[in-house]
Amino acid sequence: MELSMLRTGTFGPALHLTLDRPEAGNALNEGLLAALDTALAANAAPAIVLDGAGSAFCTGLDLAELRNDAAETPPYERFARILDTLASAPALTIAVVDGDAFGGGLALACACDVVVATKTSRFALPEALWGLLPALAAPVVARRAGLAATRRLALTTEPVNAVEALRLGLADHVVADRAAAEGIARRQALRAARTGADALSSVKALFGRLERDPETYRAFALREIAARGASEAVRTRIETLSAAKDLEEAPNDR
């Protein structure tokens, strides 16, 4: 495993992961996929901040290096697992996009709970140019942008700028530069630390249930409301928050 391709550190209370193949646009080869998979699986922090070194966030899978039959775990299977982990981890996952997020890179960003982009960033699904399909990226991108917009991105292969990405829902914030993006990421990570892994995991499960099985969602929601209303831990948290003047002054949000 080539850990040097993935820089790990802390970012406030968050695990900070930096894709570090700037000479290759941070394209995902087997070594980087393995390192990212391992780091995500081992995470215990309340938030994860994912970004890229150099002038790109991630330009997708490294098609020249990836070989399905050459690795113990097929790279596309590993990539699918990474997308699932980013979406379902009991942590707030935050993508800081500063540069190009193409193909699998766009999928990585869209799998995160929050996407913060700089104004010079671009987003694209260019797989069809190589006769390939955005098979793993499509459902992840569509969850944010909808089927029609995702289909258009895949068919035209044209990049969209950060302002258009914000309009489509591919990004949640567009800011001037990386420093401003990191400021938003830090604030979100601090709030995630206050919220806690149990609550974050429960919120993700709630929306997962709504997406998978909307017909039974109402009954599920009512059971959850009753269970949490009877929880001593929940009552204590409500009392603590009520003592603050507003949510911006809640404990640990600094």
C-alpha angle with apex 189: 188 to 194, nearest 5 degrees? 95
- On whether the CB atoms of residues 134 and 151 are closer than 8 A, the answer is no
Measure CA of the first residue to CA of the last residue in the chain; give whole Å.
37
Instruction: Tokens for 132, please give them.
Output: 């390939």
pTM of the model: 0.89
* CATH 3.20.20.20 assigned to 3-192: no
Give the phi and the psi of residue 200 in degrees, each rounded to 5: -60, -45
Q: Would you state the pLDDT for residue 241?
A: 65
Q: 129: closest CA among 150, 159, 107, 101?
A: 159
What are the residues whose beta carbons fall under 8 Å from the beta carbon of 171, sequence distance 6 or more?
Answer: 97, 109, 115, 116, 117, 121, 123, 162, 165
Instruction: State CA 128 to chain mean position distance.
Output: 24
List the pLDDT tens digit at each of the 254 positions of the chain: 445 899 999 999 999 999 999 999 999 999 999 999 999 999 999 999 999 999 999 999 998 887 655 556 688 999 999 999 999 999 999 999 999 999 999 999 999 999 999 999 999 999 999 999 999 999 999 999 999 999 999 999 999 999 999 999 999 999 999 999 999 999 999 999 999 999 999 999 999 999 899 999 999 899 888 887 777 777 666 666 666 555 555 544 44
- Tokens for 254? 């600094």
In SS3 terms, 178-227 reads as: HHHHHHHHHHHHHHHHHHCHHHHHHHHHHHHHHHHCHHHHHHHHHHHHHH
Say which amino acid occupies 34.
A
Of the candidates 170, 171, 141, 173, the one whose C-alpha atom is nearest the C-alpha of residue 155 is 141
Query: Would you state the pLDDT for residue 92?
Result: 98
CA distances from 69 to 30, 33, 135 (A): 12, 15, 19
What tokens does 11 get? Answer: 């970012």
Domain boundaries, the chain: 3-192, 213-249
Alpha-carbon Rg for the chain, nearest whole angstrom, is 19
